[in-house]
Copies of this chain bind each other. A is one copy, B any other.
Amino acid sequence: MVTLAEVAQHAGVSASTVSYVLSGKRSISAGTRQRVEESIQVLGYHPNAGARALASSRSNIIALMIPLRTDMYVPVMMEIAIAVTTSARSHGYDVLLLTGEEGPDAVRRITGSGLADAMILMDVELDDERLPLLRDTEQPSVLIGLPADTSGLTCVDLDFGATGALCAEHLAMLGHRDIAVIGEAPAVYERHTGFAERTLDGLRSRSRELGLRVLHRPCEGGFDAMSLTLARVFDERPGTTGFVVQNESAVEPLLALLRRQGRAVPEDVSVIAICPDQVAVQASVRLTSVAIPAQEMGRNAVERLIAKLEGRGKDEVVLIAPELTVRASTGPAPATS
Contacts and interface: CB of A to CB of B under 8 A. Distances in A.
Specify which of A115, A249, A278 lies most central, judged by the most chain B CB atoms within 10 Å of its CB: A115
Nearest to A45: B112
Contact of A94 (B48, B68, B115, B252): B115
Interface in A172-192: none
A260 B86 CA distance: 41
Contact of A54 (B54, B79, B221, B255): B54
A223 B284 CA distance: 5
B283 A223 contact: yes
A81 B77 CA distance: 12
Contact of A114 (B48, B59, B115, B222): B48
A249 B251 CA distance: 13
A152 B99 CA distance: 32
Contacts of A334: none
Contacts of A74: 74-75, 78-79
Nearest to A227: B284
A286 to B, nearest CB: 8
Interface residues of A, number: 62
A282 B221 contact: yes
A89 interface: yes
B44 A49 contact: no
Contact of A284 (B59, B109, B253): B253
A46 interface: yes
A260 B278 CA distance: 23
Specify which of A64, A108, A114, A253 lies most central, judged by the most chain B CB atoms within 10 Å of its CB: A114
A129 to B, nearest CB: 17
Interface of A: 1-2, 44-54, 57, 59, 61, 64, 66, 68, 70, 74-75, 77-79, 81-82, 85-86, 89, 94-99, 101-102, 108-109, 112-115, 221-223, 249, 252-253, 255-257, 259-260, 278, 281-286
4 closest pairs, A vs B, by CB? A46-B112, A50-B53, A222-B282, A50-B54
13 contacts: A1-B114, A2-B112, A45-B112, A46-B109, A48-B113, A50-B53, A66-B82, A81-B97, A86-B101, A89-B102, A96-B97, A252-B256, A256-B259
